[in-house]
């Protein structure tokens, strides 16, 4: 497997080990900021890969099939890339710690994709230059149990002007709040006023190598990108390996393409194990 090298030629681990304090924060708040979690060398590999697929404008790829204003999505297929796979295994180990399952449950890579938020002030070829309305991720994945999470990895240093993430802390404890398409155009906070009693974070400022992780039950959103360039991000979605497809129409995968049946296992070849 390829591993980044420092200036002296020594191997650089793509991810550091997370701390018990970070696990505790995630369990209590539903999200956590992992400072300097990924090496700058690995971030550079990801940005080069993203721009090679999508162009430096983040808008030169064919439409991916996810038509929404949050970002311009593009499959990354990182597990097939020897320059990325060691990082995914580091993310898998961190995800296992954050899940904090008492049983020894492995971690599966559910999806990974590049997600540049395009500049709001520019006309773009693809969708993806709007604000990210507040929502949960869980309902769109059609899995039968909780435990999944998103590692949100910025590929440059960004602050609120770029449209960075904000989280409603403790919202993961409210359970499943429905599909955003069922809100009839309303904000989730109008549909679920219980959220008003919970604190919302400021939009996160990320230095290079910083990562946020949020539970798929945590309500989160982001503003528009006020820069004149893309806000580059790479999203990695781990799930507990015992999760099953619940038979509902999913947005994140095509069951027929993998010969899947309702409540059957996710196949390891398409959804590989990244931590045992």
Of 107, 110, 98, the C-alpha closest to 273 is 107
46 DSSP 8-state letter: H
Name the token pair of 137. 């991720």
pLDDT (tens digit, 9 = 90+) per residue, 204-231?
A: 999 999 999 999 999 999 999 999 999 9
pLDDT of residue 216: 98
Q: Alpha-carbon distance 16 to 11, whole Å?
A: 13
Contact 164, 204 (CB under 8 A): yes
pLDDT of residue 2: 41
> What pTM did the predictor assign?
0.95
pLDDT (tens digit, 9 = 90+) per residue, 238-260?
A: 999 999 999 999 988 999 999 99
3-class DSSP assignment, residue 123: coil
Q: How confident is the model at residue 9 (pLDDT cuts 50, 70, 90)?
A: very low
Tell me which fold the domain 24-244 belongs to: Jelly Rolls (2.60.120)
pLDDT (tens digit, 9 = 90+) per residue, 95-153?
A: 999 999 999 899 999 999 999 999 999 999 999 999 999 999 999 999 999 999 999 99
Q: How confident is the model at residue 11 (pLDDT cuts 50, 70, 90)?
A: low
Residue 22 falls in which region: left (phi positive, over 0), alpha (psi -120 to 50) or beta: alpha
- Angle (CA) 157 159 164, round 5°: 100
Q: How confident is the model at residue 5 (pLDDT cuts 50, 70, 90)?
A: low
φ/ψ of residue 41, rounded to 5: -65, -40
Identify the residue with better confidence: 181 or 95: 95
Q: How confident is the model at residue 1 (pLDDT cuts 50, 70, 90)?
A: very low
Q: Alpha-carbon distance 41 to 207, whole Å?
A: 14
Q: Alpha-carbon distance 235 to 212, whole Å?
A: 10
């Amino acid at each position: 497997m390829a591993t980044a090298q420092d200036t002296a030629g020594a191997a650089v681990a793509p991810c550091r080990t997370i701390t018990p304090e970070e696990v505790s924060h995630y369990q209590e708040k539903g999200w956590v900021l992992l400072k300097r979690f990924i090496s700058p060398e690995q971030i550079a590999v990801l940005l080069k890969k993203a721009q090679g697929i999508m162009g430096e404008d983040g808008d030169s790829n064919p439409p991916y099939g996810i038509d929404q204003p949050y970002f311009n999505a593009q499959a990354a297929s990182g597990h097939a890339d020897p320059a990325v796979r060691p990082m995914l295994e580091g993310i898998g180990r961190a995800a296992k710690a954050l899940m904090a399952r008492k049983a020894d449950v492995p971690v599966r890579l559910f999806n990974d994709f590049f997600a540049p938020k395009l500049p709001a002030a520019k006309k773009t070829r693809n969708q993806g230059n709007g604000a990210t309305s507040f929502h949960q991720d869980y309902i769109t994945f059609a899995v039968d149990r909780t435990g999944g999470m998103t590692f949100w990895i910025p590929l440059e240093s960004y602050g609120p002007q770029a449209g960075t993430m904000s989280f409603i802390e403790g919202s993961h404890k409210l359970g499943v709040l429905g599909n955003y398409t069922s809100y009839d155009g309303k904000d989730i906070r109008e549909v679920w006023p219980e959220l008003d009693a919970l604190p919302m974070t400021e939009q996160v400022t990320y230095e290079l190598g910083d990562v946020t992780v949020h539970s798929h039950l945590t309500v989160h959103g982001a503003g528009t990108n006020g820069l004149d360039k893309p806000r580059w991000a790479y999203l990695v979605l781990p799930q507990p390996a015992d999760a099953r497809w619940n038979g509902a129409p999913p947005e994140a995968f095509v069951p027929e393409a993998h010969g899947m049946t309702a409540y059957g296992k996710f196949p390891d070849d398409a959804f590989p194990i990244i931590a045992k």
